[in-house]
Amino acid sequence: MQPVATRRCPVRNTRAPRIDHEGVEQMALIRWLYGEQQRGEPVGSLYAVTYHVPNGGQRNKKTAADLKRQGVKSGVSDLVVMEGRGGWLGLYVEFKATPPKHAATAASQREWLEKADRRGYCAVLARGLEEAKAVLREYASWAPTLIEQRETMVHGTEW
């Protein structure tokens, strides 16, 4: 009797794919904010002036170096609301996924929130979708910040 030939199958990675809980929840937050805008809710007015700073993510070394030379800074908050309210110049939100799926807040992120606060921006850490919604609702409920005096920029191209 001849021996039976055996074929080795390549070992497959059995780990589950990594889920970006923070990214998924942040997308849900922006979708909710857009919906609030469509429904005419006061918080929805922030949708047009809220943007994400794409500082995170995996990049190759060259791209990371190029972005750093272009001004990317470590720790910059995830979301910025470009509207002054409640005497603040605007709002910085460091967004984390709902516990227990949240990541730790890095020292550079805490430092950025402190910098923003010292410079007249409302700076908030929001853990999870519901807390972030509450932050945006509260911020939207504040009166717009009135700017009483402005300088006129003489440099730059008129737009």
- The predicted-structure confidence for 8-50, as pLDDT tens digits, reads as follows 656 666 777 788 899 999 999 999 999 999 999 999 999 999 9
Domains: count for the chain: 1
Local structure of 86: helix, strand or coil: coil
118: pLDDT confidence band, cut at 50, 70 and 90?
very high
Q: Which two tokens stand for residue 72?
A: 């990317």
Residue 7 lies in a domain: no
- Nearest 5°: the CA angle 124, 53, 104 is 50
Q: Which two tokens stand for residue 15?
A: 């780990």
State the pLDDT at residue 51. 97
Residue 65 lies in a domain: no
Q: Are 11 and 21 in contact (CB under 8 A)?
A: no
pTM: 0.84
Local structure of 52: helix, strand or coil: strand
Share of the chain above pLDDT 90, in %: 65
Q: Are 26 and 13 in contact (CB under 8 A)?
A: no
Residue 135: which domain range?
Answer: 21-57+73-141
CATH of the domain at 85: 3.40.1350.10
